[in-house]
């Protein structure tokens, strides 16, 4: 099973600053990586797929990069609504079905 | 607009059974593979199961294999998860999700399952 490891577990950043979140895969997943945002009491929302493509309606301040085993989600200028938990997810192996998530990074206001 | 509405979550005793449902609208349901993803209280996301567009293939996480059964009724635009022999560690919010190219582009609001005696 491919293990996804996110760092840091918690990131404290001031509004207006840049946030950089990391995700590492235990083996190569090519560019088969997605990022999701989850706010308290809400379902996750797709932000990025294919490692770097923004989903429909996602602001340009969100960007994804990386391939293979190392990935980054960058939020260029944090807005108040961006403070949430972020998960990465790989979807590389088929078959068998393999959809593993990282443990999440909580982005909190500094 | 895609809508996924889960139901069926209850408090159930260990060893018991229940069935979750997901009503889908706003897209052509039988064009898409559908999934269940769960989230235990205060924890991260865990993929549970998938079913292909025609119901022809199903897959399960090892943690639920042999106990849970995913199914769908395309005539009713509905997805189901039959949960048997439930354990305390099955307690979670269960999300119905729509797959696009193997990532999850739409999520319901979830239905809560609590396994407790």
Could you list the pLDDT tens digit for every one of the 110 residues in chain A? 889 999 999 999 999 999 999 999 999 999 999 999 999 999 999 999 999 999 999 999 999 999 999 999 999 999 999 999 999 999 876 656 779 999 999 999 98
Q: What is the pLDDT of residues B55-107, one digit of tens each?
A: 999 999 999 999 999 999 999 999 999 999 999 999 999 999 999 988 999 99
CB of A60 within 8 Å of a chain B CB? The answer is no
Neighbours of A93 (CB within 10 A): 16
CB of A104 within 8 Å of a chain B CB? The answer is yes
Among A36, A45, A97, the residue with its CB nearest the CB of B50 is A97
Interatomic CA distance for residues B80 and B71, integer angstroms? 5
Q: How far is A16 from chain B (nearest CA, A)?
A: 27
* Per-residue model confidence (pLDDT) at position B84: 98
Q: How far is B64 from chain A (nearest CA, A)?
A: 14
Give the count of Cβ contacts less than 8 A between chain A and B: 51
* Per-residue model confidence (pLDDT) at position A94: 65
Do the chains contact at A89 and B102, CB–CB below 8 Å?
no
Q: How far is A43 from chain B (nearest CA, A)?
A: 5
Interatomic CA distance for residues A22 and A105, integer angstroms? 9
Q: What is the pLDDT of residues B12-25, one digit of tens each?
A: 999 999 999 999 99
CB of A2 within 8 Å of a chain B CB? The answer is no
A68-86 as b/e: b if 16+ CB within 10 A: ebebbbebeebeeebbbbb
User: Coil, strand, or helix at residue B92?
Assistant: strand
For residue B94, give the chain A residue with the closest CA. A43
* Per-residue model confidence (pLDDT) at position B66: 97
């Amino acid at each position: 099973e491919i293990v996804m490891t996110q760092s840091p577990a918690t990131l404290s950043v001031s509004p207006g600053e840049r946030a950089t979140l990391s995700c590492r895969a235990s083996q190569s997943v090519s560019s088969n990586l997605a990022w999701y945002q989850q706010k308290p009491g809400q379902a996750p929302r797709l932000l990025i797929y294919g490692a770097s493509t923004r989903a429909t309606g996602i602001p340009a301040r969100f960007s994804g990069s990386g391939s293979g085993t190392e990935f980054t989600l960058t939020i260029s200028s944090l807005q108040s609504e961006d403070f949430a938990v972020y998960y990465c997810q790989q979807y590389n192996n088929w078959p068998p079905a393999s959809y593993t998530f990282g443990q999440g990074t909580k982005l909190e206001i500094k | 607009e895609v809508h996924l509405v889960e139901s069926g979550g209850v408090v159930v005793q260990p060893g018991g059974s229940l069935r979750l449902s997901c009503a889908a609208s706003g897209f052509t349901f039988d064009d898409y593979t559908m999934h269940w993803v769960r989230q235990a209280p205060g924890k991260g996301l865990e993929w549970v199961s998938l079913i292909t567009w025609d119901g022809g293939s199903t897959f399960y996480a090892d943690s639920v294999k042999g106990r849970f059964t995913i199914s769908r009724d395309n005539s009713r635009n509905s997805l189901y998860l039959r949960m048997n022999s439930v354990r305390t560690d099955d307690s979670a919010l269960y999300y119905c999700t729509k797959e696009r190219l193997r990532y999850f582009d739409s999520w319901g609001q979830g239905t809560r399952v609590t396994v407790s005696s």
